[in-house]
Structure 1
Amino acid sequence: MNALEPYQGTLITYSVLRRLVGTIGLVLPIVLGLGGYLLFGLPLRPSISAYYHTGMQDWFVGSMFAFGVFLLAYRLGKADNWIATFAGILAIAVGLFPTAPENATERPATAVIHLICAAGLFVLLAALSILFARHRTGYTPARWRQWAHRICGGLILLSVAGSALVIATTSDDLRTATSWVFWWETLGVVAFGLSWFMTGRPILPKAVPIIPTDDEPVPLPVT
């Protein structure tokens, strides 16, 4: 038995989990926006977080908890582990502490906590995407994959800056009418999903196409 064979099932399971995280990121804005319209006749809300105060609340909160659990369970490198752990805590906090209702006359404490946690979560997700581009023992990302992860990380940071600019410079009525924050958040969430979806592929058996025998070296894949 070679060194890799006992871990093939674990590697595939880990890859599937990472792809599930990416898939949640990719479909969350679609599920909330389209689901809110088809099921409850809702126009697009001002932000993704605003769906907490609609009939899509369970979908939003459930997705945040799923993100949080997956991130807390994520283990790869020391830096990745710490960032993912804090990001997981923030993701759960985003689900627990709702944003302010659209017609609120003042911002409650829970909304302030939500805003801080959401901004921190996006920044940490950007950091993880950039870390995915690094060389790791036994795996070297292809150059296009390295650039793709870095671009995704940059887009996540851009979404934070864009959302902050809109919140700071526009009125509640304008944000409700345009849903600019929703689109900026969608950019960040989709970039996060793409980055995580790409990390799943190299761990699949394609990354080690031939399981080496005991006297053969373990290949260093470039995918």
Structure 2
Amino acid sequence: MRAIPELPDQTNVLVISYLTIRRAIGISGLALPVVLLVGGWITGIPIQDNMSSYYHTGMRDVFVGTLCAIGVFLFCYQGYGWAENWTANLGGVSALGIALCPLDFNSDPLLQKSVHGYLHTFSGGVFFSTLAFYSLYHFPRESRLEAEPHLWERKWIYRTSGIVILVSLLTMGIYLFFLDDDWKQLLTSYHFLFWMEWIAVWSFAAAWLARGRAIIADIAVDVLAYSSELLLKKRHAGSHPGLKQDEDLQKGPLDETNSNQS
């Protein structure tokens, strides 16, 4: 009978940790607008009205590839319960929807000629809303459960990121739904949607990098914690300016008597 070969003592197992996925999502979001802008400048592509318009340029592969990667990372991410898992899955589906259902060429996001164009616009709104929900609800809750260092500062970063995303969405909604054509043309000439999307993307990237304990994010958290501590000490000293002097005056004679007796 043929002998069964022995398995090796150690097997190489590929493990993608939670921290790695969080960092990958954050780095992808951080790099996307920069690569689109700089890569477009190098290749002679002007700044587009919005990031989605880069699909119709030579930077298409960067745009589609990055969003597909973010979508896959979100699918791989497992949270603390079914609610967070569904949030991640919804974010993953919407990211893939943005990547695979392009916006119509040279068009207003609200005035599309195709079904995939409207799916793109809808997916974009769902994607940013999902990431805002992560920053405002899931991340602060998880941070407390995992007892992360500098908990207050991390929660501040998460919630600030979520608020910035929501404000960006609200601003883009006002631009798309309520402004007249003259104001739209004026803001479009300054690539308004592109810069607002950049702000929203970097906001969610900051939250995911902080959640992933990336080095640059941890440094920012430490600086914020140190600054908060100094501010609290200064405020406490300012509110009780004579407290230390009174304590010294009260303790001084007693200490002097004790020293003389000894």
Shorter-chain TM range is 0.7 to 0.9
Q: Specify the code of the residue in structure 1 equivalent to 2:99.
A: G
Contact kept, 8 Å, 2:103 with 2:112, in 1: the verdict is: no
CA distance in 2, matches of 1:73, 1:121: 16
Which residue is 1:148 aligned to? 157
Q: Does 1:108 align with 2:126?
A: no
Residue 87 (structure 2) aligned to one of 48, 65, 83: 83
Q: Which has the higher contact order (CA 8 A, sep 6+)?
A: 1
Task: Select which of 126, 140, 164 maps to 1:133.
Answer: 140
After TM superposition, list the pairs within 5 Å mapping 1:52-201 onto structure 2: 52-78=55-81, 79-102=83-106, 107-130=113-136, 131-134=138-141, 135-140=143-148, 142-168=151-177, 169=179, 171=181, 173-174=185-186, 176-201=188-213
- What is the rounded CA distance, in whole Å, between the counterparts of 1:44 and 1:25 in structure 2? 18
The percentage of aligned residue pairs carrying the same residue is 34
Q: Gaps spanning 5+ residues in structure 2: where?
A: 1-13, 219-262
1:76 Cα deviation after fit:
1.8
Rg (Cα) greater in structure: 2
Q: Quick check: 1:46–1:175 contact (8 Å CA) kept in 2?
A: no
More deviation in 16-25 or 55-64? 16-25
Q: Summarize deviations over 1:87-121 as a string: whole Å, max 9, x none.
A: 10110011111112116885322111111110011
Question: Structure 1's 103 and 150: CA in aligned 2 closer, same or farther, altered over 3 A?
Answer: closer
The whole-number CA distance in structure 2 between the counterparts of 1:121 and 1:152 is 14
8 Å contact from structure 2 (residues 71, 92) kept in 1: yes
**How far apart in 1 are the matches of 2:166 and 2:118?**
20
Q: Give the secondary structure class of the aligned counterpart of 2:140.
A: coil
**What TM-score, normalized to structure 1?**
0.79
Aligned counterpart, 1:20: 24
Gaps of 5+ in 1: 1-8, 207-223
Q: 1:163 to 1:61 in 2, by over 3 A?
A: same
More divergent stretch after superposition (122-131 vs 171-180): 171-180
* 2: CA distance, partners of 1:70 / 1:106: 29
Q: Letter of the aligned partner of 2:33 in structure 1?
A: P
CA contact (8 A) 2:131 2:162 kept: yes
Give how far 1:150 is off.
0.3
Aligned partner of 1:216 in structure 2 is: none
- Tell me the amino acid that sits aligned with residue 27 of structure 2: T
Distance in 1 (CA, whole Å) between partners of 2:104 and 2:180 is 16
User: Whole-Å Cα distance in 2 between the matches of residues 183 and 96 of structure 1?
Assistant: 22
Report the alpha carbon displacement of residue 129 of structure 1 after superposing the two structures with TM.
1.2
- Superposed CA RMSD in Å reads 2.2
Alignment size in residue pairs? 193
